[in-house]
Structure 1
């Protein structure tokens, strides 16, 4: 076994020390990294592809999180905010995604020392080292990173950085509807009838779903939230119906354990169970999708079910199969990823969804997040790869440890502490692409 070198090397030259740390993503985790760097006195730039901070969170802003406020605010961010008179909302109440942004993320981003360093509408399309691809080794650790950015007007520029923290998340890269993980055959023909996870079926997207048959694909919390929304819509709009399609032989999903400290999550499973028992949700289990096709103005999903080829017709498909990390932008970075869940190799055994729930994940920090590329870290949901057990409080401790390491404070970086709520199983134990929504 090769011993992990704990010595910070990101400022090994005078030139490197003058460069900022590049943070990819202005969601809760990316901005928490920024807040920690503010406290450390380290310059940074935050690149956000959306036209506002936490753009992905706002896509599912109508959805209520499982965690109450006391588990949703980063300690360093809270210190900066409270210096300006901010107060924590009711610590025992769980907010919606929109409330999380409005009452916490947006005020954090508006702090002068952070706002001046955030670039909106700036999509990172590649990361490398200056003047070298991934094959070159000599002087690599002391060579600046190059972050290639595309702005909303199509302009492309390269920005130099001393280190890179990738907190871009996974919401923009969902798993395929196809059971084999490849792009679904026929997807181009039905794309206009497929929606991402967590559509606002009772609000913004109501007319799209009302009086139509929707099939929700997936067995995790995102699927459960959408199913319950559609059940309510069906009560209000006659002619609305919902099918729940899962690839497993039975509906193993989320915890309804009374021991779950996150009460909203504990109730979710029992509410879905009740709706199924009442016939409000039709369950189509053991269905492995292999292709899709158009049938006049409807969609047909073709798959294997109990050794037979089955065709399922529907009007709309909700892809709630979970998410995966977008690794395309990191082709020139030397990564060490687990071959199964695509998480950093040292972290993967700690978050394997076949073994761990959100509440049993061990404390971890820069050591577990380190790659062969010195000064490069993937944090937050993206660090979990395809594992669905992420909680925001876990990501906050990740960035605290990483930023301490970047500051040369190995003692603080190594002293990782993580107190999580007592929880039941966070997702399906059968790997059906359950998502982690919502923390």
Structure 2
């Protein structure tokens, strides 16, 4: 079977999440036909899995302009722009309606298993750029299909590939065998079965980002409830505690994100969470009662816990892109031009230098990783970043480089701009104050004022984000 002419082909978008659906909307705006392939049973399937978690971005920041343009003729109206949606709200009130407008352009239960150039593996140079992309798809009913494309936008995210508990980036010894007591997601404590799993129990929370803050806040709230007596968490950090540990607080331009860190701090201050610092998990053992004992690489053994919540970030699944010539940073697994702008070894600021198709391009012309997947292993991705990425990429595919290069992106400050880095030992940038503020100083846990601020901000703006 000969491949059709490239100009007649659609652009294949992998993933029907926020970035993927926005990419489809921007392609349509450029008079290019998209085909969105989604492994899940519905659009927004990954977001649906954290439907109970409230975003720290408002509706005003999570609706793409091109998508809204498609939705407007249907009578859709944007929810109150100043309010904070949950993941479930985002799916029900935005992503699903958008997928409905896109119609047959979105195919669900269609998992991409490979992408290459038609008739060319990654070794072959001859006429490579003249060949269309070929995308192999496995359908839920067992069918296999190949789809030809003029370009490929991978917006599949990183949700399906969470990082392990092990401090080396590999699973800790015993981690897989303890899977019945470990979760890699923020638990939904409104679900009675899930609530019973953690109520009255001692739970280890491993991680230092917004998801860990959310889990700590949830467990602390459970401990205050009538059915949660005895509930406690052990917060395990690979670094020490400094002024940047709890996020930007009142300096954060996303108030709910700042409040989230302060609520986590309040959990520690109130004694509902014990902080263990500088601990990198090496082994997970079971005690005679079946509880889990975490052993650090330095030999420290923690008291047994009933459950472990691992929130150490995510990583991209690159397995189905093996026949493409990608240019990825060796550390972050992000595009090489983008990586220096988001490297957490150097930056912890909330702003990202404006970027678009040029920073997202690869040696294989016509393929782009966008959305959370473009950040590789780097944290703190915002929806508005992905929307601006796909606007630029769609314009570049259409050949409108002037529009593609006119990238305008201003992200809210986190209030944490001290170059916090990934490890305890400060690097030169941290010693000098990092990117835009004095180096973080140690904080005293137990400030009543901080607890009060956290509680007030939580009531005003919602404490739980993702």
1 or 2, which has the higher strand percentage? 1
Partner SS, residue 103 of structure 1: helix
Partner SS, residue 134 of structure 1: coil
Q: Which residue of 1 aligns with 2:434?
A: none
Q: CA deviation at 1:427?
A: 11
1:206 and 2:202 equivalent? no
| Mean Cα deviation higher: 81-90 or 58-67 | 81-90
Q: How does 1:78-89 map to 2 (within 5 A)?
A: 78-89=68-79
1:370 and 2:358 equivalent? no
**Conserved 8 A contact 2:205-2:309:** yes
Partner SS, residue 359 of structure 1: coil
State which of 156, 169, 178 in structure 2 corresponds to 1:181.
169
1:120 and 2:108 equivalent? yes
Q: CA deviation at 1:97?
A: 1.0
1:190 and 2:174 equivalent? no
CA distance in 2, matches of 1:426, 1:324: 24
**Conserved 8 A contact 1:255-1:426:** no
CA distance in 2, matches of 1:426, 1:226: 24
RMSD: 1.9
Q: Which residue of 2 aligns with 1:320?
A: 311
Cα–Cα, structure 1 residues 78 and 50, in superposed 2: closer, same or farther, change >3 Å?
same
CA distance in 1, matches of 2:105, 2:65: 20
Q: Which residue of 2 aligns with 1:91?
A: 81
CA distance in 2, matches of 1:302, 1:242: 17
State which of 29, 45, 51 in structure 2 corresponds to 1:39.
29
CA distance in 2, matches of 1:102, 1:428: 37
Q: CA deviation at 1:183?
A: 2.6
Q: Which residue of 2 aligns with 1:303?
A: 296
Q: Which residue of 2 aligns with 1:7?
A: none
State which of 379, 385, 395 in structure 2 corresponds to 1:404.
395
State which of 275, 278, 284 in structure 2 corresponds to 1:292.
284
Q: How does 1:191-270 map to 2 (within 5 A)?
A: 191-203=179-191, 205-236=194-225, 237-250=228-241, 252-270=244-262
Q: Which residue of 2 aligns with 1:390?
A: 381
Q: How does 1:65-80 map to 2 (within 5 A)?
A: 65-80=55-70
State which of 122, 132, 156 in structure 1 corresponds to 2:144.
156
CA distance in 2, matches of 1:312, 1:331: 43
Partner SS, residue 116 of structure 1: helix
Q: CA deviation at 1:301?
A: 1.7
Question: CA deviation digits over 1:207-250, x for unaligned, max 9?
Answer: 22122221111011000001110111112211322111111132
CA distance in 1, matches of 2:348, 2:69: 29
Q: Which residue of 1 aligns with 2:134?
A: 146
CA distance in 1, matches of 2:345, 2:238: 16
CA distance in 1, matches of 2:395, 2:199: 50
CA distance in 1, matches of 2:62, 2:53: 15
| Mean Cα deviation higher: 23-32 or 231-240 | 231-240
| Mean Cα deviation higher: 211-220 or 154-163 | 154-163
Partner SS, residue 292 of structure 1: strand
Q: Which residue of 1 aligns with 2:406?
A: 415
**Conserved 8 A contact 1:122-1:149:** yes
Q: Which residue of 2 aligns with 1:6?
A: none
Q: CA deviation at 1:39?
A: 1.4
Q: CA deviation at 1:408?
A: 1.1
Query: What is the number of residues matched between the two proteins?
Result: 419
| Mean Cα deviation higher: 344-353 or 417-426 | 417-426
CA distance in 1, matches of 2:80, 2:355: 28
CA distance in 2, matches of 1:422, 1:124: 36
**Structure 2: unaligned runs, 5 residues or longer:** 424-463
CA distance in 2, matches of 1:376, 1:171: 21
CA distance in 1, matches of 2:222, 2:190: 6
CA distance in 1, matches of 2:302, 2:247: 31
Q: CA deviation at 1:311?
A: 4.1
**Conserved 8 A contact 1:221-1:254:** no
| Mean Cα deviation higher: 142-151 or 159-168 | 142-151
Partner SS, residue 292 of structure 2: strand
CA distance in 2, matches of 1:84, 1:189: 50
Alignment TM-score, normalising by the size of structure 2 = 0.86
Q: CA deviation at 1:361?
A: 0.3
State which of 324, 335, 359 in structure 2 corresponds to 1:344.
335
Alignment TM-score, normalising by the size of structure 1 = 0.91
Partner SS, residue 152 of structure 2: strand
**Conserved 8 A contact 1:397-1:416:** yes
Q: Which residue of 2 aligns with 1:280?
A: 272
CA distance in 2, matches of 1:333, 1:54: 26
Q: CA deviation at 1:14?
A: 6.9
